Structure 1
Amino acid sequence: MSRFCLCERVSHCCLAILLAGVLLKPVSFAVSPPPTQEPSPVPTCDKTHSERATLETELSLTVGPEQDSVSFKCSSTANAQREPEKENVYTDANCSQTTQLTTLFSGADLQEVGDNGQKTYTLNIPKNSRKATQQELYYKCTLEKELHHKNGNAVSETEGQVCKVKITVEAVNKDEPDPEQNDEQPAGPIECTGSDTMKEASVSAESPLSFKCGAGMSLHPTNLTDVFDDQDGKCAAEVALQTLVDATLTKTDAEATHNEQPVYQLAVKTAPSEDTALCYKCVPSSSSDTKREIQSGGESSAKECLLKIFVKGSASSAFSATWGAAQTAVAFFVAAQLLPGMVDA
């Protein structure tokens, strides 16, 4: 009889240990991939229940934080043309301002498959180029014009022939690299040169960022207390650095004998409450005319390099640490409550 009781107590102890182990590993189940689903039909601008080929006024799509692409069709039943050109995208709701896609998201592209006029378009945005702020992109689909009548009355040629495709690229909170990864990175400053369209970097209160412009280029804004606000992804609005983050930018002049570029260091004193996006520009300094042309938004044959800097906020990291500690405490508390009762049984 005593041997039976001893076996029963041992089994109760094993059950308590197993329960604690299960409670300590809920995250592994939370990140399990969703079950495989059948592919959804490609969204289209076509207006349903229409006697003739007609487009909706707007087609709204979203690229979520875990997605890296989205597909759409202008029309599945009629010939329609997409604007702007393949390498460009509209950045305003009026579809009047075009920007090169890769200046917004490094490595992004628009692929097209299918017959002329009825193609399927897929916008690919690499996850490592996503930003901490939401960005809206636009395309415009236009049906081939045709004259038609409705109930005996002439209908405008443009009615039902233009569809605006709005793509919302949701914000992605980027994690800071592990210390082991930082050790493997080059020790020298990041260099933004004329051959680069854009460079990306991250900075935190624990790890300042050093960078410099390429040969023959100068840093903009020229005032060390100013920076470009990149919360909208456009790197256009010049604001005071302190209005975005508690940080300072210092300049170390290079030795004139070596004819090297000065090195700048961005140091964050206090982490912002939310993730923040900053931007600097390395602009060719060969002539003042080029500078004025770039600052006024005009086109220039000279290339500028955008240095987009991600400043991680304190809220997300604090929540992660608190949640992990809470999970461990709950698991051990439950095990401690169950174990004495099982042993005494």
Structure 2
Amino acid sequence: MKAGNTSTGGAKQMEVTAELKRDMFWHMLLSRRLDERAWVLHRQGKIAFHISGIGQEAAQVGAAFALRRGEDWVTPYYRDLALMLCLGYTPRDFVLSLMGKREEPNSGGRQMPSHWSLRSANAVSHSAPVATQAPHAAGIGLAIKMRKEDKVVLTTIGEGSTSQGEWYEAVNWAAIHALPVIFLVENNQYAISVPTDKQMAVKSAADKACGLGLDGRMVDGTDVFAVYAVMSEVVAKARSGGGPSLIEARMYRITPHSSDDDDRSYRTREEVEENKKRDPILVARTQLLESGVLSARELEEMESRAKAMVDDAVAYAEKAPYPAVEEAAYPVYVEEVRRA
């Protein structure tokens, strides 16, 4: 398929059963309720910073479910809470990270929140400068190809970060060497305060694939099942030696860029409210209720379960200890080098 085309096919995906659909929706819902609580914690002065993924859950969950979770590799970006929850990251892990507590899995309390790392899921932490995770993905993809492993790499990024040199270098390298890497661009329409038409001369990030020599596709990033279908196709292609793909999932960033941002300075409330009509939680919930896959009672039970898990995570994290001061430099640096 040519760059910029939209695809919702999925011949090589798992059967999309009612159970699978409910599971996808559950992870979207849990992510949303956790994300919303993080904003509350910030306003209460209990955490210093939060960067949100509200509005982007469908793209992340659809992508995660197309992977062999725990076998394939992921180099995520900072809005990927829903993706990480699908990979085994827990609500407790997330709130421990928000509060910088010692036992959080990303870095033991050293890293900023939402700089994900989860060894059991082959999820590799990224640096604060955007796009640095893309070369990591290309390098992992090269290793997979050299070792002849039956694995793929998913790397995610915001559309603004596709202007970075690291991203171009990674995509170019993956294309040249036909590496099993999927580059997922979560186009939420704003790079902090800059709209898409001020970020790129082409109409979409998917169009950039043409000049770099790989498959480029667009998909509705508010529809989790559409994302899953497209991602299943390109994952199967990469796994069979067909090389990398660039997928642009379009959605809208409902919240400000971060807890430090006032988005009223660059977009109207009317624009935000209009885009809330395509909130991925609303889209999926409507689809599932109207098709009979999810009942009102089941939805209520999911909401209660999510609230209980979020409450538990906050209570647990509040009691958890902070890292000791002397731990700041360990194990950041190698303490002993053994020579052969």
State the TM-score, normalized to the length of structure 2: 0.22
The structure carrying a bigger helix percent of its residues is 2
Larger RCO (CA within 8 A; separation ≥ 6): 2
State the TM-score, normalized to the length of structure 1: 0.22
The structure carrying a bigger strand percent of its residues is 1
